[in-house]
Structures are given as C-alpha cells and as structure tokens.
Structure 1
Amino acid sequence: MKYKLVIFDMDGTILDTLEDLADATNYALHQNGFSERTIDEIRRFVGNGIIKLIERACPENTPDEVRENVRRSFVSYYGEHCADHTKPYEGIPELLQKLRAAGIKCAVDSNKPDFAVKELCSRYFNGLFDFALGSREGCKNKP
C-alpha cells in the first residue's frame, strides 16, 4: 500500500524548538513578576498549546487575567524570537525531500500558534510541506 500523505507534528518531532519556547516562557513569566522555570520544567509543560504551557508555567492559583497577560507577553516575544535557537532534527529535511520525490504529500499539524508554524516551515522547510496548520482562535487544538 502506498501512502499519499504524511502528517507531522512540529515541536519535538521535526524541529527542536525547546530552547526558544523556554526563552519565551521565561521572558513572559519575568515580565509579569514570576520566577523563571528550568528547561526541564518547560519540557514537561509543552505539547498542548500555549494556553496549557502558560497555565502549567504560572504558579498555582494565578488569576485568569494574569495568566492572559503572561500569554500575551509570550506571544509577543515568541513572534520575534521563534527561530533564535530552533533547528530541524538531523535527517528531517532529507526525509521530507525523499517523501516529496516519491510523490507523497507532506503536512504539519501543530498546537503551536499558526503564525509560528508558517514562519518555521518557510524558514526551515521551504517548499517541502503542502500544508501547514497551527493553533488558531476559534479552532480546537489537537488531538
């Protein structure tokens, strides 16, 4: 059976984004008067989108409006710094090229914000994905 489409997640699958996510999280926490988190803590917090990342990173019982301020700080910073340290995992660009050469369509579906998915796909995988979708307001996150 020949596959027609392969769909990839982004963070921790095709791109090593952890350091930039940690930097943005710690920037946002610091801007709002909270202590920074270790990279190991942040590693455990990622995977379910920014809202969950911020919810997990903020101290317990942080009011919703404060968490929203932290989220906004994160988005603002990450928008400018989403590719400072991010890099593809070894072999991923070559894998995508082989899939494309075999006539298999490739897509990304991520809980990362849509703006960042599109920016990172363009920067690291220009032309290798047929479709890239990230988290957008009004749409449910994965799964």
Structure 2
Amino acid sequence: MNPNNLKYSKNHEWIGLDVFNDHNNEKAYVGITHFAQKELGDIVYLDIEETIIGKKIKEGNIFGTIEAVKTVSDLFMPVSGRILEFNKILLSNPEYINKDSYNEGWILKIKILNKKEYDQLMSIKEYKKYIGEK
C-alpha cells in the first residue's frame, strides 16, 4: 500500500482498495495510520474477536481495540463493510503495525458496502492538513 493511494478517516484509520484482486473496487484493506501508531507508541496487543469474520459493521462503529504500552484505543470502521479477513499475524506480532502500518500492519480486509462513504474520506493531502503536517 502506498499512503498516497489511500483514503483516511478522522479516527486515523486508512483504507486502500484491493485493485489487484478486485476490479469492482468493492474489497479493501483497513489499518491505522502511521501518525496514529506513532502517537500510540509501542503496540503490544490487538484485540479483535475471531467471530468478526462475515459480520457487517457500520461506518464509525468499533471493530476492536489496540493496546500500546501506556494506552488502549478503539479501532473504528472507516466505511460500512463486511469483514472478510483480519491479519492474524498481528495477534502474535502486533509490532508490525509500528514497523509498517501500511503494508505488513494492515488489520482488516473488508467488502465495502457503501462506496459513497469511501468517496467522502480524506485524501493524503487532506489528512496531512487534518493532523497539522506539511
């Protein structure tokens, strides 16, 4: 994933279309931004229920939590979607999110249920302005 090709939520999640495997642009990967992982610090635990696969979760709803050394933060869906897969490697290696939040550190693979929600998310330029980065 390339941060320039992703969309961003105000809750600091990113979403990237799976353009190589889905030409309809309905499937996408979801993770937290580099900014978010940096703010959290060393990530030590990811809490996502195994039963999440197949569930539909609406935009803005919580799909799990992420724990760092000094804090716990909720994970929010950037768009309404049906959960296809989650990155189980993160259960034993949550530090991948710190090392590479846009590739090895992806969290979910989803089927987008409302493309309009995706279209309304921020571009990298808008997100950088939102977090005060130049």
Interval of TM-score (by shorter of Structure 1 and Structure 2): under 0.3
Point out the structure with max Rg over C-alpha.
1
Which has more strand, going by share of residues?
2
With normalisation by structure 1, the TM-score equals: 0.26
